[in-house]
Amino acid sequence: MNEDDRAAAHTLQNLFATLGADDPQGRALSETSEDIPQLARFLALRHIWPDLINSWAAPDALEDIPAAARLLAHGADLTDLARVAQVAAYETAFGLLYSLTAYGRDHEAPEDTPGWRLMETTPAGELTGRAVQSLHESLLSMDPSGRDGQDIFG
C-alpha cells in the first residue's frame, strides 16, 4: 500500500470509528485495498436495526396494532410478541436487501427487461461507479447489541 492509500485508510478508519462502526481498521483497509464501498455499505445499513427492528421492542410499540392488542388482552407475553415483530421486521429487511442488492433483476421476467443496481455516490450525488452489493450479507453483523440477532432469534 502506497503512502496515499495509507493516508486514505487512516482517514476512513477515523471516520468509521467516529460513526461507531465495529472494526474500523478492517473496514477502512477493505475499502482502500479491495475497492469495496464499505462506508456506503455501513451508512446504508446502520439505521435498520435501531429504526426498523429494535423499535418493535419499545414500550407501546405494539399496543396500537389491533391484532397485537387483542393478543396482549388474552394474556400473550409482551416480550414474546415484540420478538415476533422484530423477527418479522428482520426477515422483511433481509428479503428487501437481498432483492435489491443481490442479483439486480427479476428472474421471472423476460430476459429483455431492465434490471437495477444500488450505486455509491459522492456527497454531491454523483455516481462513483462502485456498486453497493449484497447488503443482506451484512445485516446480522449490524445488530447494535453485538450479538448478531441472538436476542431475537434465541
Check residue 40 and give its pLDDT.
Answer: 98
Please say whether the dihedral angle defined by the alpha carbons of residues 126, 50, 135 and 25, taken in this order, is positive or negative.
Answer: positive
Given a cut of 50, the residues of the chain with pLDDT beneath it are none
Check residue 154 and give its pLDDT.
Answer: 84
User: Element (H or E) spanning 119, and its range?
Assistant: strand 119-121
Q: Which three cell numbers stand for residue 127?
A: 455516481
Dist. CA 146–CA 103, nearest whole Å = 28
Domain residue ranges of the chain, discontinuous segments joined by +: 1-35, 47-153
* pTM exceeds cut of 0.85: yes
Check residue 1 and give its pLDDT.
Answer: 78
Check residue 95 and give its pLDDT.
Answer: 97
Check residue 63 and give its pLDDT.
Answer: 87
* Angle, CA of 130, 136 and 139, to the nearest 5°: 110
Dist. CA 150–CA 153, nearest whole Å = 5
What's the pLDDT tens digit per position in 55-86? Answer: 999 989 998 899 999 999 999 999 999 999 99
* Angle, CA of 119, 122 and 128, to the nearest 5°: 50
